[in-house]
Amino acid sequence: MSIRTLSTRIILMAGCHGGVCFGGVYPTSQVRRQNITKDKIPWLEKFPEYSPPYFDSDRLDGKPWADPVITGSFKWNVKDSTVDRRSFEGDYTIEDGYPLNPAGRTGLRGRGLLGRWGPNHAADPIVTRWKRDDNKTIVQNPITNKSILQLIVIKRRDNGMWALPGGMVDSGEEVCSAAIREFLEEATNSLQKSHDDNIALKSQLEDFFCTGKEVYRGYVDDPRNTDNAWMETTAFNFHDNTGDTVGDIALTAGDDAVGAKWIDVNKELSLHASHIDFVHKVAEILQSDW
């Protein structure tokens, strides 16, 4: 996906009528985004009337992982010992001390619900297997004659949507390690398991998660994005071809999830943010039914 495509979708998801994009209310708040016509989304387009509201959620107050108020000490477009402020989309612009969303205007300034100014990096594991019948035979769609793929999803606590069991990359953490950690926390409730149980589970899955293939790295069309803070992710596919590894694991929601299950993959799925795009890419790679 190009930035140009994403910059259009960033407001389109709230609805456009007559060429005007109505930004809607920002999640968990009463703050409404400023309306923007599609041609005014790019920063290079002059828009003297652009004066969006500013919003930082009070949910960030006191959180050790959240940035403080911007000062002159911030170093942009670089990685230091604690925070990686580089964007997958290349260097972003700094205006009046604030980073500008590379996808364009969003109708809202500030950080919103996001902890970091600038890019907020996440990792999204796409854990899949083939759908099988009681005889362990792979099930095919009789219309397309293609095998049906299944996917592990979790139900998010914050918005109630089904999503990939991913999350934010911790400071100093490798992206692939973050993807594995988030899967274990959200889909197996590892935070509530005993130390011995977690050791056994990680040992069972270690080789499987070493086979992950990166399918996307870049900007994410996320409802929490603002002019000054935005989501970026690296999505990995972990495919259990035989169904003998993750297929036998009991799914239990944990951490930020309130549900976890296997679902059939198809184009009718409704998933959080850009997750359906990542799943579609996996379906294309595995040549499964869609």
DSSP per-residue letters across 233-250: EEEEEEEESSSSSGGGSP
- End-to-end Cα separation, the chain, in angstroms: 19
Residue 40 domain-assigned (yes or no): no
Collapsed DSSP state (helix, strand, coil) of residue 232: strand
Tens-of-pLDDT digits for all 290 residues of the chain? 433 344 444 443 445 544 555 579 999 999 999 999 989 999 999 999 999 999 999 999 999 989 998 988 899 999 987 889 999 999 999 999 999 999 999 999 999 999 999 999 988 889 999 999 999 999 999 999 999 999 999 888 888 899 998 888 887 777 888 887 878 888 877 787 788 877 877 777 777 887 889 999 999 988 999 999 999 999 999 999 998 888 777 788 777 778 889 999 999 999 988 899 999 999 999 999 99
d(CA 275, CA 272): 6
**pTM of the entire structure?**
0.83
The angle, 0 to 180 degrees and rounded to 10, between the axes of the packed helices 195-209 and 175-187 is: 130
Relative to beta strand 229-240, strand 162-163 is unpaired
Q: Give the structural domain span for 126.
A: 121-286
Q: CATH no. for residue 222? A: 3.90.79.10
Residue 152 domain-assigned (yes or no): yes
φ/ψ (deg, to 5) at 95: -130, 125
Residue 151 domain-assigned (yes or no): yes
* pLDDT given for residue 193 in this prediction: 77
Which is nearest to 39 in space by CA: 55, 18, 53?
A: 18
d(CA 68, CA 88): 23
Residue in the block written with tokens 């100093």: 172
95 contacts 34 by C-beta, under 8 angstroms = no
Which is nearest to 230 in space by CA: 220, 243, 239?
A: 220
Per the structure block, which two tokens stand in for 128?
Answer: 């899949």
* pLDDT given for residue 229 in this prediction: 97
φ/ψ (deg, to 5) at 275: -60, -35
Residue 133 domain-assigned (yes or no): yes
- Please count the structural domains in the chain: 1
φ/ψ (deg, to 5) at 175: -60, -45
Torsion-angle region of 136 (φ positive above 0: left; ψ -120 to 50: alpha; else: beta): left
264 contacts 123 by C-beta, under 8 angstroms = no
* pLDDT given for residue 21 in this prediction: 56
| Residue type at 146 in one-letter notation | K
* pLDDT given for residue 16 in this prediction: 53
Residue 203 domain-assigned (yes or no): yes
Query: How far is C-alpha 11 from the geometric centre of its chain's CA atoms?
Result: 17
Residue 22 domain-assigned (yes or no): no
Residue 128 domain-assigned (yes or no): yes
Residue 42 domain-assigned (yes or no): no
d(CA 100, CA 67): 16
